[in-house]
Amino acid sequence: MSLATFRKNGREVRTPVWIAREAAKLYVWTNGTSGKVKRVRANGRARLAPCDARGKVRGEWVDAKARMLDDPEAMERGLQTVIRKYGWQMHLALLASRLSGRHAQRAVIEIDL
């Protein structure tokens, strides 16, 4: 999916992300120092559209509301949702984050449509 977040000046920034659904919520696992995290914290406005692995949009945009999860239990629940969807690929990404020392910087974005 392509996640569009918005800068303080209103400019849209699109980023392809791995996204997983649990009930009525969507979850994105990312690095806590990424630009999308900063933009979500500043402004929860977001949009989603299907895209390919390189970010080329393949469908219609849908408005959404995003927020950062700060509660460790909620973060773990969101992370497990992403792991269930992506399986070995997500485990490989988690291993890479541990080996690079970025595991402590992980963050989870929760999205409401």
pLDDT tens digits for range 26-60: 999 999 999 999 999 999 999 999 999 899 999 99
CA triple 8-55-48, angle to 5 deg: 55
Q: Which residues contact 41 (CB under 8 A, 6 or more apart)?
A: 68
Average pLDDT for 68-72 = 95
**How is the chain split into domains, by residue range?**
2-112
Which of these, 50, 42, 56, lies nearest to 6 by C-alpha position?
A: 42
CATH 2.30.110.10 fits 2-112, yes or no: yes
Higher pLDDT, 39 or 98: 39
pTM (2 decimals)?
0.90
Tell me the chain's radius of gyration from C-alpha atoms: 13
Angle at which helix 88-99 crosses helix 72-86, to 10 degrees, equals 130
